[in-house]
Structure 1
Amino acid sequence: MNSKVVLITGGSSGIGKSIGQFLKTKGFTVYGTTRNLSKSTNFTSFELLEMDVTDVATIQNALSKIIEREGRLDVLINNAGIGITGPIEETPHEEILKVFDTNLNGPIHMMKSVLPIMREQRSGLIINITSIAGYMGLPYRGVYSATKGAMGLITEALRMEVKDSGVHITNVAPGDFATNIASGRYHSPVLENSPYKVPYASTLEQINEGVNDGEDPILVARAILKIINTKKPKVHYKVGSFMQKFSLFLKNALPDKVYEKLLLSHYKL
């Protein structure tokens, strides 16, 4: 049995839940978090703690409970996040700030909170769940792409800053997976008189189809297990279909305008 203690933010559903269930079957001690524990009273996959990644007080409270019970924290999986779609020009700015607060500031709060614990242990692993969408500016998903892209860069920088602490940090970028993310995503409304009405509505339909036809989240869980069992994790990992990962190769290989044309063609814009 594995004695490592794992904390997964956003563990009550989707990819986070799949990771937690899988790691528990492998003998890990798993804790997940949810913003509202009262909505998960029937959740039995692993223990959930009430926590909001945008609220440092709740983070400290959850970590205190884990350390009191287990005496250590070996792995943090920064999975909590929210989606957003819409023309940047027409997306309410308060919604943009909300997504950045959850997808970027939240993981930063988490890392700043667990690093002193892991440094004292002289060991620990932080896995930031970003997105393949974070490697490119996608039409009508620009804000989401920006939050995930920024998190990837934070990961790169922080790895170097803590290299002598015994703590490893890596980034896992999933592609499209069959989860309930679409139900919690903020969609800017398709405005009747908007110049974006037709292309945005068409792209939104494609985005939702991509989630519904996505891969099984267990693939991400298996990738996470391999990373945990790796002595020296890489900076970046990508998990998704061949075409999704191949699109990243094309982005690096092709001139910017050629790649842009490929994206426009893909979205029929």
Structure 2
Amino acid sequence: MSNQKVVVITGASSGIGEAAARLLAQNGFKVFGGVRNPNRVSSIPGVRFGTVDVNDDTSVANFVEWVLSEAGKIDVLINNAGVSLLGPVENTSTAEAQRVFDTNVFGPLRMIRAALPSMRAARSGLIINVSSVLGFLPAPFMGLYASSKHALEGLSESLDHEIREFNVRVVLLEPTFTNTKLDVNAAHTEAPLGVYERQAYATIETVQDQIKSAPSPQAVAAKILAAINGPYQMRQPAGGQATLLSRLRRFMPANAVDKSLRKTFGFGR
């Protein structure tokens, strides 16, 4: 078996996933990118694309089996595939909420369950779950997305305790808003905004302005590479603003954090 490290990354067709796949391949990793339709993906030197729908148990199992048959191992699993949703919590249907959680929480869970047995057997592995600063901070009108990332963080920390004795660890990568299609083209709840209309539009406009000057996917990809090659650390904010927000959340009084968030998202008070 080759000593070349094997990396599996979901959501590899665009954004952070594509940037990470490209950067890791350039740095000598053997990369398998999971996408919904490999025929619609531009080729990347050193990256092999395979079909995976993280919402489907069979698709995930088949994809991981394919990687293991081709490479014989998985050294790093990067759970990057995700969806977003904008809108008031009150207006969010159960079906809309389930779609967010099915991709952002159950998707990583399916991938972990499929890949972890081979890592345990090898007594070596790293699982990187791409979370968000909204995994430790709230965000108005992004309640279901933030909830899914909070859930992912809880799952990740619990899992890390369970698998540590097998020399497999979990990393939470926590970017702030990133200039990708996920943030720019986020889905909106279907129900009319109603009484939330004025504030929701003001907040969404604020978020979109932030995205325009947000870090590029390449900057987050560099953080992923550093997380793989560097010393282990569970929580890894990606970028200066994410690091600052992480520290503020830990050390600032709760009331001050609350006021700062409301100002950031365009609330009057």
TM over 0.5: yes
The answer to whether the Cα contact below 8 Å between 1:176 and 1:240 also exists between their aligned partners in 2 is no
Whether 1:239 aligns to 2:235 is no
1:189 Cα offset (Å)? 5.1
Residues 222-233 of structure 1: pairs in structure 2 closer than 5 A: 222-230=222-230, 233=232
> AA paired with 1:252?
R
Q: CA deviation digits over 1:200-219, x for unaligned, max 9?
A: 01111122222222112222
Secondary structure class of the residue paired with 1:210 = helix
In the alignment, the residues of structure 2 paired with residue 2 and residue 206 of structure 1 have an alpha-carbon distance, to the nearest angstrom, of 47
The match for 2:198 is 198
Task: Give the superposition deviation at 1:2.
Answer: 7.0
Distance in 1 (alpha carbons) for counterparts of 2:173 and 2:43: 26
SS in 2 for 1:89: coil
SS in 2 for 1:234: coil
Name stretches of at least 5 consecutive residues in structure 2 with no aligned partner: none
Residue 43 of structure 1 aligns with which residue?
43
Q: How many Å separate the matches in 2 of 1:100 and 1:234?
A: 26
Tell me the equivalent position of 1:258. Answer: 256
- Cα deviation code 1:4-56 (max 9, x no counterpart): 0100000010001000000101111111111233432x434522111011111
AA aligned to 2:59 is T
> 1:86-235 residue pairs with structure 2 within 5 A?
86-188=87-189, 191=192, 194-230=194-230, 233-235=232-234
1:14 aligned partner: 15
- Once the two structures are superposed, residues 225-251 of structure 1 have per-residue CA deviations (whole angstroms, 9 ceiling, x without a partner) of 222123x51111001233x43223222
Mapped to 1, the partners of 2:182 and 2:210 lie a distance apart of: 11
Structure 1 unaligned regions, length at least 5? none
Question: C-alpha deviations, 1:86-127, integer Å up to 9, x for none?
Answer: 000012221111000100011011111111011111111111
Separation in 2, partners of 1:247, 1:76: 26
RMSD: 1.8
- Name the amino acid aligned to 1:55: D
Paired amino acid for 1:70: A
Secondary structure of the residue that 2:266 maps to in structure 1? coil
| SS of equivalent residue, structure 1 residue 88 | coil
Normalising by structure 2, report the TM-score: 0.92
Q: Are the aligned partners of 2:78 and 2:128 in contact in 1 as well (CA < 8 Å)?
A: yes
Q: Separation in 2 of the partners of 1:52 and 1:64?
A: 14
Kindly, what percent of the aligned residue pairs are identical? Answer: 32
Distance 1:203-1:190 versus aligned 2 partners, 3 A rule = farther
Letter in 2 for 1:258: A
Please list the CA deviations of residues 133-157 of structure 1 after superposition, one character each: whole Å capped at 9, or x if unmatched.
Answer: 1111111111111111111111111
2:66 alignment partner in structure 1 = 65
2:83 and 2:103 in contact (8 A); partners too: yes
Task: Provide the rounded CA distance (Å) in 2 between the counterparts of 1:10 and 1:97.
Answer: 19
Contact 2:100/2:145 (CA < 8 Å) preserved in 1? yes
- In the superposition, relative to structure 1, how do residues 229 and 247 fare at CA in structure 2: closer, same or farther (>3 Å)? closer
Counterpart residue identity of residue 223, structure 1: K
Could you tell me how far 1:183 is from its partner in structure 2?
Answer: 4.9
